[in-house]
Amino acid sequence: MQLYSFFNSSTSYRVRIALALKGLASDYHRVNLRTGEQRQPQHRELSPIGGVPVLVGDDGVSLTQSLAIIDYLDALYPQVPLLPSAPLLRARVLEAAQLVACDIHPLNNVRVLGYLQRELGVRAEDKDRWYAHWVAEGLAALEALLQRHGDGPFCFGATPTLADCCLVPQVANAARMGCDLQAYPKVMAVYQHCQAQAAFQQAAPERQPDFIQ
């Protein structure tokens, strides 16, 4: 498999976690979001939206969108399931994962933050306030979900799921951006537990070949 990724892209990080949890190898191709490689025609052929991750299978199948990729991997390699079969638990996992992927991340990805500054003239400090506001809104909701329905040490039980694949990169990015995370004890307990696991460590930004300090 071929994975088109960038080391601190949270969406790419989700897929790297899933691959590591399933013990699947992939060839890593850097797409440098900082220099705009994702907007080049060559990459647009792989990703119409001009983003990462992109996963290209051994059979030539190409997929974008991290949740779709992980669902596909789960169907092909069910030995380490990331989406439970029980209907309600599956819905809870998707609820938490989509809270991150649909409510938090889209407002804070590099395309949106870049547009705020380049096109709307938003000052850097106001851009950071924007980021912190939407992270706080989303993580407060995620904390409430996990307090009500979570059963650790992972988000939903003793094994990692898609929810954990989404939680860890979001918290890592929030910490990198200097957000105050003390108000989310359940979220942070899950995050710390995941960080102690070998698969999550393997997928971490600093372990990627394109890591830049």
Residues 42 and 111 in one domain: no
- Residue 148: CATH number of its domain: 1.20.1050.10
Residues 91 and 76 in one domain: no
Amino acid 179 reads: C
DSSP assigned state of 65: S
- Say how far apart CA 201 and CA 64 lie, in whole Å: 23
Residues 189 and 119 in one domain: yes
DSSP-derived 3-state class of residue 28 = strand
Distances (CA, A) of 99 to 3, 54, 72, 192, 202: 24, 21, 20, 20, 25
> The tokens of 20 are what?
């590591």
Q: List the pLDDT tens digit at each of the 213 positions of the chain.
A: 999 999 999 999 999 999 999 999 999 999 999 999 999 999 999 999 999 999 999 999 999 999 999 999 999 999 999 999 999 999 999 999 999 999 999 999 999 999 999 999 999 999 999 999 999 999 999 999 999 999 989 999 999 999 999 999 999 999 999 999 999 999 999 999 999 999 999 999 999 999 987
> The tokens of 38 are what?
């994702």
Residues 36 and 55 in one domain: yes
Q: What is the pTM of this model?
A: 0.97
Residues 119 and 189 in one domain: yes
In angstroms, how far is CA 33 from the centroid of its own chain?
15
Transcribe 140-173 into DSSP letters: HHHHHHHHHH-BSSBTBBSS--HHHHHHHHHHHH
- Say how far apart CA 213 and CA 210 lie, in whole Å: 10
In degrees and rounded to multiples of 5, residue 115 shows phi and psi of -65, -40
The parent domain of residue 14 ranges over 2-80
